Chains A and B, each alone.
Chain A
Amino acid sequence: MDPKQTFLSWPVVRQVRSGDFLGRGPSVTSKRTRELTPRTVTADRVVQSVCPYCAVGCGQRVFVKDERVVQIEGDPDSPVSRGRLCPKGSASEQLVNSPGRQRKALYRRPGAADWEPIELSKAVEMIAQRFVDTRRRTWQDHDEHGRPLRRTMAIASLGGATLDNEENYLIKKLFTAAGAIQIENQARI
């Protein structure tokens, strides 16, 4: 027997002393457990957010430590969700921290068998050039009756239902001004 253990540390005595009659509470916690602190307590700050999955719009609390998301939990303040999250919402810390998440821009040349790395800024520049070039070559000014069209049918886009309103607004504004009309999102499916 561990000499530091006394009569007082006998299980049944511990239970009686701590009022833990069923033996499921403090009387049976290990030293390690007692020393653990929830990440939610040691976080530097808590930021109010909204679950990114379905459209119920459950409230989330994002716990940040050392400029990194360490935990995401349901927001009890939300009148919609009252602190609850479903399995997806509960897993959203993994959505942002998953090791499989892509963090670098990649480029695949025509006919290539694999990706190659690319500088983000260079990729954006190449996309802008292709955008301008495709638009110029495929411009439709009028239809066969001389009615205005002012568009290109060679640039399309898909997606938006997972994005912010402000993002959808800029996407629609830019594409419309450029004359690209085949702009669609998940609402069509």
Chain B
Amino acid sequence: MQDLSNADCIVIQGSNMAECHPVAYQWVMEARLKGARVIHIDPRFTRTSATADKHIPIRAGSDVVLLGALINHIISNELYFKEYVVAYTNAATLVSPEFQDTEDLDGLFSGYDDEKGSYKQDTWAYASADGEGDESPGTIGGPAAVHEHGQTESERSAGEQHGSGGPALEHARVLRDETLQDPNTVFQILKRHYSRYTPEMVADACGISVDDFHYLAEAVTENSGRERTTAFVYAVGWTQHTLGAQFIRTAAIVQLLLGNMGRPGGGIMALRGHASIQGSTDIPTLYNLLPGYLAMPVAGLHDTWEAYLGAIANKEQKGFWANADTYAVSLLKAWWGKAATAENNWRFDYLPRLSGAHGTYQTTMAMLDGEVEGYFLLGQNPAVGSAHGRMQRRAMSHLKWLVVRDFNMIESATFWKDGPEIVSGELVTEDIETEVFFLPAAAHTEKSGSFTQTQRMLQWHHQAVQPPGDCQSELQFFYELGRRVRELLADSTDERDRPLLDLTWDYPTDGHGEPDAEAVLAEINGRHLTGDKAGQPLSSYTEMKADGSTEGGCWIYTGVYADGVNHAANRKPGREQDLTALEWGWAWPANRRILYNRASADPDGKPWSERKKYVWWDEEQGRWTGHDVPDFVPDKAPTYRPEPGTGGPAGLAGDDPFVMQADGKGWLFTPKGMLDGPLPTHYEPQESPVRNPLYGQQSNPARKVFPRKDNLWSPSGGERGSEVYPFVFTTYRLTEHHTAGGMSRWLPYLAELQPEFFCEVSPELAAERGLENGGWATIVSARTAIEARVLVTERMTPLVVGGHTIHQVGLPYHWGVGKEALVSGDAANDLLGVALDPNVQIQESKAGSCDIVAGRRPQGEALLRLVEEYQSRAGSTVMTGNVLVTPPEEESR
């Protein structure tokens, strides 16, 4: 975070950092005081814009056009950092001649499977020399060489497994043309792909003037290179789209071309919204992952241990993922202890298998179908916070039992008595057969444990007091639940109960029954099981073994408990350290603060410049050194070159800084892993009043859609009926509230500061619709209608896009309908439908279509009739918006 103050230019896009992450924003201000240029690109003018050098309003969902034009500008004006690009990225690597670009196929890449609605990615692979007599093991890939179909990858949300590195490749032996001239080089493909992303296209698609584009392009390119660095900052304004992962990829390409990755004041900063949302991804309470970004096994793909090992890592690929077998075996040993042996493949058979996408939205729909009986809500309020609140609440009414663990009586705990569907008469309390348990939770001051903040840093919080009344930590609740479940099954002879009964489930507790969180952290860190170090904590994941002699619950966290010391609790004051502050908390991996920091030195290991010195090769000591923990094998010289075909970490050359990538390079082009294309491509949101100006293909052809009567969409881009929902809405957060309000709408201070739901509209839109400042407005989408107070403000700018004026409506999403919070109101997320990004299964909540009219919404059944009347006027059917590939007749319209 502090490193932002080293930047010479900061672009904040898809984030309102000053209001949503205000304390981190001090580092942006610090940079600005030192002369850095700060640019805010966002649909709304906010306090971030007010403190930036420039605010550039953008149409929600058009970011790839803007960033793609930046890539085009950088390449065509030769403004890229040539030495960095050639040495450290895959620019020079040759791609298979079978690859076809969206320029060739009008918005599709080669490999699209019409039936499955997803890509087969084999034509995106790197070209390989199939020369005879090459015996290098890299030539043939083992099981990982099999290209998995994009459909199954999407279902298991495989994109997310790259949370700590790139996917396995078939081989490490690639063809390169360092002159970058071969038409099959990544560089030339990139150049062609973005050739039509021009400043004029930006004006037409994003509503950003050519002058503003040039301002941005100059700021970014003039502040990059040997002497200077630019940082990008984003939040859910980028992720919550049907091509969210590609928004971030576009920024990654810009940053790699400009040589800003792995360097001080560079990189791409993700600002996340919950205290340990990074931790809950690393140690995932997510369906598709095991700790440390290991894949959950999938039926049909990973039926055997051998198949699983082959798929998660290939010993012949370069980099540290080649050792994934040691991480997986150590995890299984941590969970099943003595029961996990080499003979039984470490009890791999104990793991349950996926057979499709089992994300939160699919689970919600499964509830509606009566397939889910029990549901635990652990500090999350889907009735307000998830997309399509109405679907969420109706789904929960189908449960047999529901356990809500929270501080406050959130709307998800009371939907059965005071939810909007009770008010409208759609649901009747007495008919809801769901049994509900409300169990109060302990606060962060009432338990010890670690949060992982947004930059991968674990920080320990110490228990200050005992929790009041029945309040309990999740640690205690789940330990106790596990204990009782095991007791109930203790006499079972059923083989299916063995994984529970063999589970290592014995932690020391204090006098109040609270398990020792540090003992759990020690298990996560891992320990030696045999030899003279038996029982001692591991100090690095490189000590993990695949022979059962080590255990460890999350390999990327190994080292946090090195030498038996809880390094997450390290607290040397910042003022007594340099800016990197390595002795405060502990960042994974290996307490590294900037990833891939080998790239902060040139190929010879010397800093690119004195001004941007960070990590470098110390010739005399024969080691890497610097201000951070070097992200490299400590004594591997810059001149080191592996024998051809060497796999694993040893396969990386002394100038391959991207050590978690299968080829050691930063990927401009992703030969594998991105399910909706190897290069980010502009597609319109699922709902958009605008026709895609670049391709016949309107929206992401690999997006995940759910054609259902309770999930209708507005027609898009000039289709008949699209005028019924003519405006764009976007949701956002305020400083004084936290997400769905469970931790803020019950607090008197915060409730008083932001008491009521409102919408932001421009004076022009207010005039057009007769909206009065402070009055009421009804906002209607194809899912429902909600009401909000009107805030007429010039912070909203009408944009001219495709020759039409586009109005955007801003909606903070913190409020919900219920009787328990200090402040309540309609929930903005009720307007949303469910359409997902294929890589990570995240919904599109940052751009949708709506109408807005003056006055309050109708109540009861009249509300349902209003929504139906709009749907019928628009002609929305279950297929509207849900045809993945745009038919040719619509393209020509």
Contacts of B840 in A (CB 8 A): 188
Q: How far is the CB of B637 from chain A (nearest CB, A)?
A: 32
A55 pairs with B278, CB closer than 8 A: yes
Which partner residue on chain A sits nearest B579 by CB separation?
Answer: A79
B439 pairs with A120, CB closer than 8 A: yes
Which partner residue on chain A sits nearest B352 by CB separation?
Answer: A151
Distance between Cα atoms of A128 and B843 in the complex (Å): 33
B349 pairs with A95, CB closer than 8 A: no
Contacts of B748 in A (CB 8 A): 94, 98
Which partner residue on chain B sits nearest A153 by CB separation?
Answer: B371
User: Which of A84, A87, A164 lies in contact with B26, CB distance below 8 A?
Assistant: A84
Contacts of A76 in B (CB 8 A): 573
B335 close to chain A: CB less than 8 A: yes
Known: A80-B24, A163-B378. A53 touches B520 (CB 8 A): no
B489 pairs with A161, CB closer than 8 A: no
Most buried by A among B240, B283, B463: B283
Which partner residue on chain A sits nearest B362 by CB separation?
Answer: A182
Contacts of A180 in B (CB 8 A): 352
Known: A162-B743, A170-B520. A110 touches B433 (CB 8 A): yes
**Which residues of A123-171 have CB atoms within 8 Å of chain B's CB atoms?**
123-132, 134, 138-139, 141, 143, 145, 147-151, 153-171
Distance between Cα atoms of A79 and B578 in the complex (Å): 9
Known: A111-B430, A163-B474, A164-B517. A186 touches B373 (CB 8 A): no
A56 pairs with B350, CB closer than 8 A: no
Contacts of A29 in B (CB 8 A): none
A37 close to chain B: CB less than 8 A: no
Known: A52-B743, A101-B407, A130-B374. A64 touches B465 (CB 8 A): yes
Q: How far is the CB of B514 from chain A (nearest CB, A)?
A: 11
Distance between Cα atoms of A59 and B479 in the complex (Å): 28
Contacts of B22 in A (CB 8 A): 86
Contacts of B822 in A (CB 8 A): 100
Interface size class of A (residues with CB under 8 A): 35 or more
A88 close to chain B: CB less than 8 A: yes
Q: How far is the CB of B437 from chain A (nearest CB, A)?
A: 5
**Which residues of B241-287 have CB atoms within 8 Å of chain A's CB atoms?**
271-287
Known: A159-B378, A166-B449. A150 touches B444 (CB 8 A): no
B735 pairs with A165, CB closer than 8 A: no
Distance between Cα atoms of A58 and B461 in the complex (Å): 11
B314 close to chain A: CB less than 8 A: no
Distance between Cα atoms of A120 and B469 in the complex (Å): 10
Known: A94-B747, A111-B432, A163-B378. A56 touches B1 (CB 8 A): yes
Distance between Cα atoms of A162 and B444 in the complex (Å): 9
B94 close to chain A: CB less than 8 A: no
**Which residues of A103-123 have CB atoms within 8 Å of chain B's CB atoms?**
103-111, 113-115, 118, 120, 123
B300 pairs with A156, CB closer than 8 A: no
A62 pairs with B276, CB closer than 8 A: no
B438 pairs with A105, CB closer than 8 A: yes
Contacts of A67 in B (CB 8 A): 465-466
Distance between Cα atoms of A25 and B464 in the complex (Å): 35
Distance between Cα atoms of A101 and B820 in the complex (Å): 10
B358 close to chain A: CB less than 8 A: yes
Q: How far is the CB of A107 from chain B (nearest CB, A)?
A: 6
B400 pairs with A48, CB closer than 8 A: no
B291 close to chain A: CB less than 8 A: yes
B481 close to chain A: CB less than 8 A: yes
Distance between Cα atoms of A96 and B447 in the complex (Å): 12
Which partner residue on chain A sits nearest B457 by CB separation?
Answer: A57
Interface size class of B (residues with CB under 8 A): 35 or more
A173 close to chain B: CB less than 8 A: yes
User: Which of B440, B443, B575, B753 lies in contact with A95, CB distance below 8 A?
Assistant: B443
A171-184 vs B, CB cutoff 8 Å, 1 = contact: the mask equals 11110111111111
Distance between Cα atoms of A157 and B367 in the complex (Å): 12
Which partner residue on chain A sits nearest B239 by CB separation?
Answer: A189
Contacts of A86 in B (CB 8 A): 22-23, 735
Q: How far is the CB of A51 from chain B (nearest CB, A)?
A: 7
A39 close to chain B: CB less than 8 A: no
Contacts of A139 in B (CB 8 A): 496
Q: How far is the CB of A6 from chain B (nearest CB, A)?
A: 43
B401 pairs with A130, CB closer than 8 A: yes
Which partner residue on chain B sits nearest A52 by CB separation?
Answer: B444
Q: How far is the CB of A158 from chain B (nearest CB, A)?
A: 5
B283 pairs with A165, CB closer than 8 A: yes
Which partner residue on chain A sits nearest B360 by CB separation?
Answer: A184
Which partner residue on chain B sits nearest A105 by CB separation?
Answer: B470
Known: A149-B352, A165-B282. A81 touches B23 (CB 8 A): yes
Known: A82-B574, A87-B750, A149-B352. A55 touches B271 (CB 8 A): yes
Q: How far is the CB of A73 from chain B (nearest CB, A)?
A: 13
Contacts of A104 in B (CB 8 A): 440, 469-470
Q: How far is the CB of A116 from chain B (nearest CB, A)?
A: 11
Known: A107-B437, A138-B373, A185-B286. A160 touches B746 (CB 8 A): no
User: Which of A51, A54, A64, A163 lies in contact with B280, CB distance below 8 A?
Assistant: A163
Select the stretch in B176-184, B380-388, B721-729 that faces chain A.
Answer: B380-388
Known: A154-B373, A167-B473, A185-B280. A87 touches B753 (CB 8 A): yes
B496 pairs with A150, CB closer than 8 A: yes
B452 pairs with A158, CB closer than 8 A: no
B21 close to chain A: CB less than 8 A: yes
Distance between Cα atoms of A54 and B273 in the complex (Å): 4
B475 pairs with A166, CB closer than 8 A: yes
Distance between Cα atoms of A138 and B400 in the complex (Å): 13
A sample of 10 inter-chain contacts (CB < 8 A) reads: A57-B585, A80-B457, A110-B433, A154-B371, A155-B375, A159-B380, A165-B282, A166-B450, A186-B280, A187-B277
Q: A51-B275, A170-B475 are in contact. List 15 more A-B contacts (CB 8 A).
A: A57-B453, A79-B2, A95-B407, A95-B747, A102-B408, A104-B470, A134-B374, A147-B299, A156-B367, A157-B378, A168-B280, A168-B284, A169-B554, A176-B352, A181-B354
